[in-house]
Amino acid sequence: MDPLVTTEWLQSNLDESGIRIVDVRGYVRRRATEPSVEVAEYTGALNEFLVGHIPGAVYLDWTLDIIDPDNPVPVQLAREQSFSETMSRCGIGEETHVVIYDHQGGQFATRLWWALHFYGHEKVSVVDGGWQAWKSIDGAVSTERSHPERCHFKTRPQRHWAVDWEEVLGVVQRATQQECTDNEVRPQIIDARDEEQFKGTRRRGIHGGRIPGAIHLDRDALFDIEKGRYKPLSELQSLITSASVDTDRPVIAYCNGGVAATTVLFTLYRLSVRNLANYDGSWNEWGNRKDLPFETG
């Protein structure tokens, strides 16, 4: 089953007992601090959920509920016990089909999709077009908060879904030194940020630019902005090919906070690529360290 589902599919399956709908609407608000320099403010959208949401949905704040508050790098994935407790409280168990939406089926929904896969739960779907698409079909709207029966969410960490800065640095160094054994397939690094950040003409952190050797694939290019939905799979395949992404090689994706990168991973997963990893620290970590290499231009 394609992990991207339509609002029409959700509408016809709204009352299925095995489904747990999760609203994870949120924002990354950018603010300029000086020319070509910006900071990001991460927020949830609980107030919008309370005004109206898909019936039966539970709300998760991506900036609070699924992050590690003790990690100095912002919005890093929650630790195992904390994540398990949050999912259990939301009524998500081993057999639950989790259906996630945000404003337009974008990066916050795929962030939770990735997090669930990391912790071993594969029955996960993302709603194409999200809340905006639901409103466009006049889907039912509720203002009542759901209180699902508690389940037991058993974590089975699949650590290949994530890499840290040391692993990324190792990939960069091996590529620079052209070191590759006969049996090793070197991973590709994909930068999901916009072109200005990729080139370093606009930055967050102490320096701008990109991880050396990274391929640029702006996450916005994956969407039909006018319709607020993912582009058709055939167009996405062409886009991946034109970006020189080799789908037979492992992929590491990054962005600023390990969130937008998950839209790239989600798209590749839909195209049957399975050797995928998120560099969760992304530029929030890499771009604020003086001991890690970077490129500009």
- Out of 118, 137, 157, a domain closes at 157
Over residues 244-272, the pLDDT tens digits come to 999 999 999 999 999 999 999 999 999 99
213 Cβ neighbours under 8 A, 6+ residues apart: 171, 172, 175, 176, 189, 295
User: CA 279 to CA 256: how far, in whole Å?
Assistant: 10
User: What pLDDT, in 10s, does the model give residues 4-51?
Assistant: 999 999 999 998 989 999 999 999 999 999 999 999 999 999 999 999
Asked if residues 10 and 226 have their Cβ atoms less than 8 Å apart, the reply is: no
List the structure tokens of 8: 């029409």
Judge whether 271 and 240 are in contact, CB under 8 Å.
yes
User: In one letter, which amino acid is 28?
Assistant: V
Residue-number span of the structural domain to which 146 is assigned: 4-157
Boundary-marking domain end, from 142, 157, 172: 157
User: Distance between CA 207 and CA 284 in Å, rounded?
Assistant: 11
**Burial of residue 164, with CB atoms counted within 10 A of its CB: 0-12 exposed, 13-18 middle, 19 or more buried:** exposed
> Do residue 137 and residue 269 come from a single domain?
no
Kindly report, residue by residue over 143-153, the tens digit of the pLDDT.
999 899 999 99
User: Residue 266 in contact with residue 126, Cβ under 8 Å?
Assistant: yes
266 in a domain, yes or no? yes
The count of structural domains within the chain is 2
Q: Judge contact between 58 and 20, C-beta under 8 A.
A: yes
Average pLDDT, stretch 172-183?
Answer: 72
Query: Does residue 176 register a pLDDT over 90?
Result: no
Residue 294: inside a domain, yes or no? no
> In terms of domains, do 166 and 147 share one?
no
pLDDT, position 159:
97
Q: Is the domain of 166 the same as that of 269?
A: yes
* pTM assigned to the model: 0.96
Q: What pLDDT score does 103 carry?
A: 95
Could you tell me which of 287, 294, 285 has the C-alpha nearest to residue 76?
285
Contact 185/249 with Cβ under 8 angstroms?
Answer: yes
Residues 51 and 165 in one domain: no
**The pLDDT of residue 184:** 65
Instruction: Say if residue 115 is in the same domain as residue 243.
Output: no
The answer to whether residue 178 scores a pLDDT higher than 90 is: no
272 in the same domain as 142: no
d(Cα 47, Cα 35) in Å, to the nearest integer? 32
Percent of the chain with pLDDT over 90: 91
% of the chain beyond a pLDDT of 70:
98
Hunting for tokens 């530029």 — which residue is that? 283
Closest CA relative to residue 128, chosen from 99, 151, 148: 99
Q: How many CB atoms lie within 10 A of CB 181?
A: 8
Residue 238 lies in a domain: yes
Do 74 and 193 fall into the same domain? no
Domain assignment present for residue 292? The answer is no
Q: Mean per-residue pLDDT for 191-214?
A: 96
Convert the pLDDT of each residue in 66-114 to its tens digit.
999 999 999 999 999 999 999 999 999 999 999 999 998 789 999 999 9
Q: Which residues contact 184 (CB under 8 A, 6 or more apart)?
A: none
* Angle separating helix axes 233-242 and 261-270, nearest 10 degrees: 110
Residue 200 falls inside a structural domain? yes
Q: Are residues 115 and 19 in the same domain?
A: yes
